[in-house]
Chains A and B, each alone.
Chain A
Amino acid sequence: MTKNVRISVTVNGEQYEREVEPRLLLSDFLRHELGLTGTHVGCEHGVCGACTILFDGQPVRSCLTLAVQANGHEIMTVEGLTEDRERLHPLQEAFWEAHGLQCGFCTPGFLMTLLPFLEENPQPTEAEIREAISGNLCRCTGYQHIVDAVKLAAEKLARQQV
Chain B
Amino acid sequence: MKPAPFDYVAPGSLEEVLATLATYGYDAKLLAGGQSLIPMMNFRLAQPSVLVDLNEVTELNWVRRRNGGVSLGAMVRQRQLERDPVVAEVAPLVHDTMPYVAHPQIRNRGTLGGSLAHADPAAELPVVMVALEAQLRLRRAQGERWVAAEAFFEGLFTTVLAPDEMVVEVVVPVLPPRTGYGFLEVARRHGDFAQAGVTAVLTLDENDVCRKARIVYLNLGEVPMIARKAADLLVGEKVTDSLIAEVADVGAREEIEPTGDIHATADYKRHLAGVLTRRVLKLALAKATSSQ
Q: Is B109 an interface residue (CB 8 A)?
A: yes
Please give the number of chain A residues whose Cβ is less than 8 angstroms from any Cβ of chain B in the complex. Answer: 33
For the complex, would chain A's binding face be called helix, strand, loop or mixed by DSSP majority? mixed
**Which residues of chain B (3-22) have a CB below 8 Å from chain A?**
3-8, 10
Q: When each residue 29-65 of chain A gets 1 if its CB lies under 8 Å from chain B and 0 otherwise, what string results? A: 0000000000000001110010010010011110111
- Known pairs A64-B35, A65-B34; A3 contacts B105 (CB<8 A): no
Instruction: Indicate if the CB atoms of B35 and A46 lie closer than 8 Å.
Output: yes
Binding-face segment, A81-89, A94-102, A129-137, A146-154: A129-137
Q: Chain B: residues with CB nearer than 8 A to chain A?
A: 1-8, 10, 31, 34-35, 38-39, 41-43, 51, 53, 55, 79, 99, 102-106, 108-109, 189-191
CA A3 to CA B8, docked complex, whole Å: 8
Q: Which residue of A lies closest to B38 (CB)?
A: A64
Q: Is A113 an interface residue (CB 8 A)?
A: yes
Q: Total number of A-B contacts with CB less than 8 angstroms?
A: 94
Nearest-Cβ distance from residue B32 to partner chain A, whole angstroms: 11
Q: Is A25 an interface residue (CB 8 A)?
A: yes
CA A46 to CA B110, docked complex, whole Å: 12
Instruction: Indicate if the CB atoms of A23 and B34 lie closer than 8 Å.
Output: no
Instruction: Indicate if the CB atoms of A22 and B109 lie closer than 8 Å.
Output: no
Select A64's contact among B7, B34, B43, beta carbons within 8 Å. Answer: B34
Instruction: Indicate if the CB atoms of B8 and A134 lie closer than 8 Å.
Output: no
Select A22's contact among B1, B8, B189, beta carbons within 8 Å. Answer: B8
Instruction: Indicate if the CB atoms of B7 and A22 lie closer than 8 Å.
Output: yes
Instruction: Indicate if the CB atoms of A65 and B105 lie closer than 8 Å.
Output: no
- Known pairs A64-B34, A65-B38, A134-B191; A22 contacts B6 (CB<8 A): yes
